[in-house]
Amino acid sequence: MVSGGPTKAEIIAIALEKLQISSGETFADIGCGTGNVSIAASKKTNKIIAVDQRSESIETAKQNFSEAGVSALVTLLRGEAPDVLEAYANAIDKAFIGGTKNFRRTIDFLVPHCRRFVLNAARLEVTADAIGYMKEIGVFKEALLINIAKGHELENLTAFTPYNPVFMVVGSC
């Protein structure tokens, strides 16, 4: 199991709605983990760059891309963003930041090039830092706290099991 993920389908749907990816745009999935965000984005565009620094994530994403039939649409890069994205800097239109390690560096890299990005975080302190930094550099658009619970049967009735809350911060460049 890849640490930190996978990003739940409901969270991905909200992130993609906030990003408003159009056909022909290049989408970067930074901290791609299992590749689920890239797979969902492949329904919107055929130009996807997925990045993760963990070899386990790269292998998992590669397998998931193959199983989903999207391998040909995805450039999969192992390394730390923005270092491995340098060659693609001018091509990135929209981005999802799923890993918050060194998020300031990643945002600084994206701002001159991309039009919109979403940063997901699980920790309040990271979220507050991201919001403050994005306001400081003038790219903050909105922040969301997303709480989702899934229904399941319990003694012939329906009960709900909550997911961990997710903070989503949207930036517009």
Residue 115 domain flag? yes
Q: What is the pLDDT of residue 99?
A: 78
Residue 107 lies in a domain: yes
Do the Cβ atoms of 103 and 8 come closer than 8 Å? Answer: no
Whole-number mean pLDDT of the chain?
95
157 is a domain residue: yes
CA atoms within 13 Å, Cβ hemisphere of 166:
26
pLDDT at 39: 98
Assigned domain for 1 exists:
no
- Res 2: pLDDT: 56
* Residue 168 φ then ψ, to 5°: -125, 125
**Low-confidence residues in the chain, pLDDT < 50:** none
Q: How far is CA 71 from CA 34, 91, 96, 129, in A?
A: 13, 19, 19, 35
- Count of domains in the chain? 1
Q: CA-CA distances (angstroms) from residue 149 to 11, 56, 152? A: 12, 28, 10
Q: Provide the pLDDT for residue 120.
A: 96
